[in-house]
Amino acid sequence: MEAEIIEYKDWDNTYIILDDGIIEKFSDPYIYGSKQQKIMKNIASILVSFLSSAINDLSADNTAIIRILEGGKYYYIYEAFKEIIGAPLLGEIDIKSRFKYDPKDVPTVIVKDLEFSDKANKRKYFIIIDTIASGSTMETFLKRLLSTYTHEYMLIVGGIATYYGLERVRRLLDNYRKKYMLIAYGGLLGLGENRTDMTLGHKPNYIPPKLFDKAVEMLGLEITSKLCVIGDFTYSNVYVDRYLAERIIQIWEIGANSNLDETKEKARRLVLEGLDRLLNIVSLNEIESLLAEEYRRRLLLVGKDVDIKKLSIDYVVSLEPIKVF
């Protein structure tokens, strides 16, 4: 299919980008590395082309692109902008999230601040594309940016985003009375109970029917509704072994807690596929350590700490019930 730009009617200046690549990404838990990067580079080009047609005076001279490290650079917005329009001002900021557990929100703190304060003082457009789950990281960043630059400018904010997270951004920018455009890749996703999973099923959300239907065809209804569509974005680009272990744990969780035979069968097949991929990268002994590490990391998202060094492959494949969730 050709790429679609869908205007979300319930919010002003909000657009959803839909193409085959993002549909495939949200329908297949084992897209990562170079294949994922190709998808993200293509959708970056779609976004920049859309912006250049929607904003008449958009240029390299009046635009700043800011990347929130470390996942922001894997959205390839700077590279697409440079190729299509010209080289804009590029800045980076590092924000650490989930450095402690808080049941009320995802705590964030700025680690490395903006580096080009003076240079960006007259930029008319700021583009910030990143993963927006709970919206805490983006809110932390935007508050810093809004306090740093007080001149008139427009913010273009988005990426792979939840309804909840982007709504949080929208409320903030409305409060500051800033001009903005919001972009969502694939749809306005649901936010899971752990405030990190980005799903096609949790409400509130807005998922284009053709994307949801494709995911159900590939994964079945229950896994489609509950599985995080993205996983850890940095993992999926840099630490593939950890990404695979994380995906196996997420799928195991759904299968082990399901009462549906069809879900359990599909989850087991997906777990086996992930293990097969992992075996091409690391040893059997390392796999069980990785699974335990990702299991513990996932529990920490909901404030539970377990002392576990290895997680048996047989236990995961058998979809034994998870007692602590």
Q: Which of 5-19, 45-59, 185-199, 291-305 has the lowest mean pLDDT?
A: 291-305
As a whole number, the mean pLDDT across the chain is: 92
Query: CATH classification of 4-234, choosing from 3.40.50.720, 3.40.50.2020, 3.50.20.10, 3.90.1010.10?
Result: 3.40.50.2020
- Whether the per-residue pLDDT at 250 is higher than 80: the answer is yes
User: At residue 53, what are phi and psi to the nearest 5 degrees?
Assistant: -85, -30
Full DSSP string of 73-117: GGG-HHHHHHHHT---EEEEEEEEE-SS--TTS--EEEEE--S-T
> How, if at all, do strands 14-18 and 4-7 pair?
antiparallel
Q: What is the pLDDT of residues 145-159, one digit of tens each?
A: 998 888 999 999 999
Average pLDDT over residues 226-247: 95
288 vs 291: CA distance, rounded Å: 5
With CA atoms as reference, report the closest residue to 176 among 138, 145, 207, 133: 145
Residue 307: Cβ within 10 Å count: 6
Determine the 3-state secondary structure of 270 from DSSP.
helix
Note whether 297 and 231 are within 8 A (CB). Answer: no
- Whether the per-residue pLDDT at 108 is higher than 80: the answer is no
What pLDDT is attached to residue 118? 72
Q: What is the pLDDT of residues 182-227, one digit of tens each?
A: 999 999 999 999 999 999 999 999 999 999 999 999 999 999 999 9
Indicate the domain borders of the chain.
Answer: 4-234, 240-317
What pLDDT is attached to residue 263? 97
Q: What is the pLDDT of residues 159-180, one digit of tens each?
A: 999 999 999 999 999 999 999 9
Cβ burial, residue 57 (10 Å; 0-12/13-18/19+): exposed
